[in-house]
């Protein structure tokens, strides 16, 4: 169904202008013709359904085969878990790449338009979309060396000529920013026996696509629109910062990269303007937020990569000084964009985002704490040196040692997740954080990959038993987590586009204040990062009696005491009464 929210001619003119800024005149003309046809084709197949993000949006991050049960597909089991356990509080699901793949747990894609048979089928994806909004991964920087596209490239098929980035290995690539320690170029033999040196940003099995060839752009936009047709409400652009290569530069965040994202957004929104574009760029904070663009032309959501390491560092130190100073610097270019807040993911906790926030001593403290708790560290190449890239560990194990008391582990973990729920933006919850998983060493031994430590696949019956076990860590954490989520989704103050500010009430306390857009209500969310009771004076900020919406306790005095790792989400008690009067 064709969407007429905005004049189609205006959108097409912007698409044409973007193409002309990236490609030669002839290629821009050919690309525009192809995209115009692609847009028309998908407008006839996709019915646009307007949607605005709100406080009710919470996104669960999970693998398609995260949970399994004999006799049904993994995706069907996932759907059953969602419906039985979190349907009442989580409305959206980010299914990590579920397409046929050859490595990296799905991020080395063989077929963009297929579903891995070990996980299920498109029928299972459709079933998931009945009760949940879905985020699909657009892994469009690279694909598998075993993909038909790359095989045809090596077979010198004219249709796939120049589809991948091939370079002379004698060229100087020392300026290239690397997220890994592996070589930039990998040798492959084509069907004629010729050696082809192909750009591989992430691994030898992940060959980078060449967007200097406009035909690659057309192919990948067809893939992204296909995902929208299949039910994607949100599109995650994986590793998008690296998609444009230019020898002699860093090959990250290049102007063409931002232009391509703007172009992709225009094309997708010409078909379905409600689709949310979210960029995944694990880079220093100031570089990361550049993907908001002007606030209405690039990503609507950006991963808040500085939050996970800063949060862990602050809880381990019992000091929120660095976290609060960073939070106070957060600015958004418009009221149409927001952060995607999270602590853990399939990749671990990246530390690049805090390279200009934490000094070397502080970063080393975080790295050493992770290792002391049984975690691992992955590195990247910086010149001739190796630098920490990410911490590989379950988030609960970063915050506490598995040897520590469960009561402490529960308090610190829930504290960290409460902050995520209270931060301005949309919360993302990794499956293993929701159910209290610890680091899974067996996977590391089997795969010899550090990242596997937080990618354990769970048996449905086992996790059901653990979530029903009275007094168990998993059950206690899951129950407490769900309580906080349920409170959040019913408070308009937590709308991702509402006004916010961060208050300073002592180095131990992290405070976020949210204002509801319509009513003028506010919530002051206080979090005690220390292991001791702290007195807090709220008198400069409130006059009326308050109520903690978590415990429902009425607080008459503006000077109050927070217990170790305590969480208080406070509202004015008489606000509604005063309005009625």
Q: What is the pLDDT of residues 173-192, one digit of tens each?
A: 999 988 888 899 999 999 99
Model confidence at 4, in pLDDT bands (50, 70, 90)? very low
For residues 291 and 299, the answer to whether their CB atoms sit within 8 Å is yes
Model confidence at 578, in pLDDT bands (50, 70, 90)? very low
CA distance linking residue 30 with residue 569, whole number of Å? 56
Classify 20 as helix, strand or coil.
helix
Task: Name the nearest CA neighbour of 510 among 309, 318, 285.
Answer: 318
Query: In the predicted model, what is the mean pLDDT of residues 145-169?
Result: 97
According to DSSP, residue 84 is labeled I
For residues 255 and 224, the answer to whether their CB atoms sit within 8 Å is no
CA distance linking residue 193 with residue 211, whole number of Å? 26
| Residue 432, strand partner residues | none
Enter the tokens of residue 349.
């906790």
For residues 105 and 96, the answer to whether their CB atoms sit within 8 Å is yes
Query: In the predicted model, what is the mean pLDDT of residues 111-122?
Result: 98
According to DSSP, residue 83 is labeled I
Find tokens 């299972």 and name the residue: 124
CA distance linking residue 394 with residue 438, whole number of Å? 5
- State the span(s) of the chain assigned CATH 2.60.40.1180: 499-580
CA distance linking residue 315 with residue 373, whole number of Å? 14
Instruction: Please report which helix (H) or strand (E) contains residue 303, including its range.
Output: strand 301-303
- Show the CA angle centred on residue 513, arms to residues 568 and 518, nearest 5°: 115
Query: In the predicted model, what is the mean pLDDT of residues 341-348?
Result: 93
Find tokens 């080393």 and name the residue: 364
For residues 144 and 109, the answer to whether their CB atoms sit within 8 Å is yes
Name the active-site residue from 65, 208, 238, 397.
238
Enter the tokens of residue 427.
């919360």
- State the span(s) of the chain assigned CATH 3.20.20.80: 59-145+209-492
CA distance linking residue 423 with residue 323, whole number of Å? 12
In the predicted structure, residue 365 carries a pLDDT above the cut 60: yes
In the predicted structure, residue 323 carries a pLDDT above the cut 50: yes
| pTM value surpassing 0.85 | yes
User: Which pLDDT score is estimated for 6?
Assistant: 53
CA distance linking residue 150 with residue 143, whole number of Å? 8
Task: Name the nearest CA neighbour of 104 among 236, 200, 19, 227.
Answer: 200
Find tokens 């912007």 and name the residue: 14
Query: What burial class does residue 285 get, using C-beta atoms within 10 Å of its C-beta: 0-12 exposed, 13-18 middle, 19+ buried?
Result: buried
Enter the tokens of residue 276.
């949310």
CA 510 from chain centre, in angstroms, equals: 23
In the predicted structure, residue 1 carries a pLDDT above the cut 60: no
Find tokens 């652009």 and name the residue: 237
Residues in the chain: 581
User: Which pLDDT score is estimated for 2?
Assistant: 44
Dihedral angle computed from the Cα positions of residues 388, 389, 395 and 400, in that order, rounded to the nearest 10 degrees: 0
CA distances from 146 to 100, 120, 167, 450 (A): 10, 21, 20, 23
Q: Where are the alpha helices (H) located in 143-246, listed in sequence order?
A: 148-154, 214-229
Percent of the chain residues past pLDDT 70, beyond the cut: 97
Find tokens 């397409």 and name the residue: 99
CA distance linking residue 338 with residue 450, whole number of Å? 31
Classify 264 as helix, strand or coil.
helix
How do 426-430 and 338-341 pair as beta strands?
parallel
Model confidence at 567, in pLDDT bands (50, 70, 90)? very high
Query: In the predicted model, what is the mean pLDDT of residues 464-492?
Result: 96
User: Which pLDDT score is estimated for 517?
Assistant: 85
CA distance linking residue 53 with residue 275, whole number of Å? 11
Q: Is 137 a catalytic residue?
A: no
CA distance linking residue 141 with residue 143, whole number of Å? 7
Sheet (strand 385-392) strand order: 349-350, 385-392, 376-382
CA 572 from chain centre, in angstroms, equals: 33
How do 92-95 and 59-62 pair as beta strands?
parallel
CA 25 from chain centre, in angstroms, equals: 36
In the predicted structure, residue 107 carries a pLDDT above the cut 90: yes
Classify 167 as helix, strand or coil.
coil
Query: What burial class does residue 299 get, using C-beta atoms within 10 Å of its C-beta: 0-12 exposed, 13-18 middle, 19+ buried?
Result: buried
In the predicted structure, residue 395 carries a pLDDT above the cut 80: yes
Q: What is the pLDDT of residues 436-477, one digit of tens each?
A: 999 999 999 999 999 999 999 999 999 999 999 999 999 999
CA distances from 526 to 162, 493, 504 (A): 55, 15, 10
In the predicted structure, residue 268 carries a pLDDT above the cut 70: yes
Q: What mean pLDDT, rounded, does the chain reach?
A: 94
Model confidence at 9, in pLDDT bands (50, 70, 90)? confident
Dihedral angle computed from the Cα positions of residues 365, 371, 376 and 381, in that order, rounded to the nearest 10 degrees: 40
In the predicted structure, residue 382 carries a pLDDT above the cut 80: no
Q: Can you count the helices (H) and strands (E) in the chain?
A: 18, 27
CATH architecture for residues 499-580: Sandwich (2.60)
For residues 306 and 285, the answer to whether their CB atoms sit within 8 Å is yes
For residues 74 and 82, the answer to whether their CB atoms sit within 8 Å is no
Q: Which superfamily is assigned to 59-145+209-492 in CATH?
A: Glycosidases (3.20.20.80)
Enter the tokens of residue 37.
């046809």
């Amino acid at each position: 169904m064709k969407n007429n929210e905005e004049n189609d001619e205006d959108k097409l003119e912007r698409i044409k202008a973007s193409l002309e800024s990236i490609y030669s005149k002839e290629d821009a003309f050919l690309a525009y013709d192809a995209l115009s046809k692609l847009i028309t084709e998908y407008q006839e197949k996709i019915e646009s359904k307007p949607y605005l993000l709100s406080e009710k949006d919470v996104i669960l991050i999970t693998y398609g085969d995260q949970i399994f049960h004999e006799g049904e597909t993994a995706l069907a089991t996932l759907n059953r878990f969602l419906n039985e356990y979190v349907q009442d509080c989580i409305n959206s699901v980010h299914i990590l790449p579920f397409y046929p793949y050859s490595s990296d747990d799905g991020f080395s894609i063989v077929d963009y338009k297929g579903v891995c048979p070990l996980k299920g089928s498109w029928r299972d994806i459709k079933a998931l979309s009945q009760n949940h909004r879905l985020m699909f991964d657009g892994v469009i920087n690279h694909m598998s060396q075993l993909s038909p596209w790359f095989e045809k490239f090596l077979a010198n098929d004219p249709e796939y000529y120049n589809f991948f980035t091939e370079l002379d290995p004698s060229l100087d690539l020392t300026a290239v920013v690397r997220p890994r320690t592996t070589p930039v170029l990998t040798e492959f033999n084509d069907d004629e026996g010729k050696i082809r040196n192909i750009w591989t940003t992430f691994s030898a099995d992940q060959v980078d696509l060449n967007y200097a060839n406009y035909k690659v752009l057309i192919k990948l936009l067809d893939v992204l629109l296909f995902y929208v047709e299949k039910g994607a409400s949100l599109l995650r652009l994986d590793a998008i910062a690296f998609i444009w290569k230019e020898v002699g530069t860093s090959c990250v965040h290049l102007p063409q990269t931002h232009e391509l994202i703007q172009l992709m957004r225009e094309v997708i929104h010409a078909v379905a303007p409600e689709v949310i574009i979210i960029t995944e760029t694990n880079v220093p904070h100031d570089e990361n937020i550049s993907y908001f663009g002007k606030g209405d032309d690039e990503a609507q959501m950006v991963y808040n990569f500085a939050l996970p390491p800063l949060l862990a560092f602050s809880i381990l130190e019992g000091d929120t000084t660095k976290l609060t100073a960073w939070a106070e610097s957060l600015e958004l270019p418009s009221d149409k964009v927001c952060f995607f807040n999270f602590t853990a993911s399939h990749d671990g906790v990246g530390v690049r985002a805090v390279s200009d926030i934490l000094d070397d001593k502080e970063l080393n403290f975080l790295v050493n704490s992770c290792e002391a708790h049984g975690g691992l560290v992955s590195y990247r190449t910086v010149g001739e040196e190796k630098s920490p890239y990410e911490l590989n560990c379950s988030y609960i194990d970063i915050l506490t040692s598995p040897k520590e008391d469960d009561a402490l582990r529960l308090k610190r973990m829930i504290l960290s997740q409460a902050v995520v729920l209270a931060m301005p933006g949309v919360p993302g919850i990794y499956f293993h954080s929701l159910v209290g998983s610890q680091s899974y060493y067996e996977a590391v031994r089997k795969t010899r990959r550090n990242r596997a430590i937080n990618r354990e696949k769970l048996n449905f019956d086992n996790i059901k038993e653990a979530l029903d076990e009275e007094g168990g860590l998993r059950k206690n954490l899951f129950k407490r987590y769900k309580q906080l989520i349920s409170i959040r989704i019913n408070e308009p103050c937590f709308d991702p586009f509402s006004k916010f500010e961060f208050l300073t009430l002592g180095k131990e306390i992290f405070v976020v204040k949210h204002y509801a857009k319509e009513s003028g209500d506010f919530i002051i969310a206080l979090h005690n990062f220390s292991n001791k009771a702290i007195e807090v004076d709220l008198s400069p900020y409130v006059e009326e009696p308050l109520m903690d919406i978590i415990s429902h306790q009425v607080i008459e005095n503006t000077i109050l005491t927070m217990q170790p790792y305590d969480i208080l989400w406070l509202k004015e008690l008489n606000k509604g009464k005063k309005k009625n009067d």
